[in-house]
Amino acid sequence: MTTEFVLALGREAITLTLMVSAPMLAAGLIVGLSISLLQAVTQIHEMTLTFIPKIIAVAGALMIFLPWMINLLVDFTSRLILMIPTLTG
């Protein structure tokens, strides 16, 4: 196992983590910005107003993107498991 291999594996794991978390983060960001804009326009400054729509948006994004996320994670894990015999020498 070389240093380059470990760095490439770590880079791939971080990239996968960002790809898996991006849909939920983007949904929360979009909903949060739109509600903040609505609050600025209407001058309603209630701090708790953003929580429920963000939770619903993140849950919706999770339900929509869950099969894709599971496929990415299963592919990565299966590649790691298949690599185990090559690491022992």
pLDDT digits (tens, 9 = 90+) for 15-51: 999 999 999 999 999 999 999 999 889 888 787 888 9
pLDDT at position 87, please? 81
Residue with tokens 């960002």: 18
Three-state DSSP class for 6?
helix
Please tell me the total count of domains within the chain: 1
What number of other Cβ atoms are within 10 A of residue 64's Cβ?
13
Domain limits for position 33: 3-87
- Split at pLDDT 50, 70, 90, the class of 89 is low
Contact between 54 and 36 (Cβ < 8 Å): no
Contact between 12 and 72 (Cβ < 8 Å): no
Contact between 23 and 31 (Cβ < 8 Å): no
